């Protein structure tokens, strides 16, 4: 004889967090102004604000250091050539 059990309500699956690679890609696309609204909504609903802030600061610092390095190289070559 079969016993019927009441259907247990489905638990909503926890949404996956945004990973580090997706966070970097999202911050880079936001820097360029080409982030899609779908990605932005995903970031705000599932992303960690601390992770986004840390990635944004690191990428900004890396960009600034790259510009400074390139400027020093160019200025050094121009000053040395004259």
Could you read off the pLDDT tens digit of each residue along the chain, which spans 82 residues?
A: 666 666 556 665 567 888 999 999 999 999 999 999 999 999 999 999 999 999 999 999 999 999 999 999 999 988 877 6
CA distance 82 to 67: 23
Ordered by start, the domain boundaries in the chain are 20-81
- The DSSP result for 16-49, as a single string, is PPP-HHHHHHHHHHHHHT---HHHHHHHHHHS-H
Six-digit token string for 15 = 């949404």
Residue 57, C-beta contacts closer than 8 angstroms, at least 6 positions apart: none
Q: What is the pTM of this model?
A: 0.71
Q: Is the dihedral of CA 53, 56, 58, 64 positive or negative?
A: negative
């Amino acid at each position: 004889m079969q016993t019927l059990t009441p259907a247990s309500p489905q638990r909503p699956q926890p949404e996956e967090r945004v990973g580090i690679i997706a966070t970097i890609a999202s911050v880079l696309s936001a820097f360029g102004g080409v982030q899609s609204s779908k990605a932005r909504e995903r970031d705000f609903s599932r992303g960690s604000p601390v992770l986004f802030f840390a990635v944004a600061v690191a990428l900004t610092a890396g960009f600034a250091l790259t510009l400074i390095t390139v400027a020093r190289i160019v200025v050094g070559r121009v000053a040395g050539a004259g």
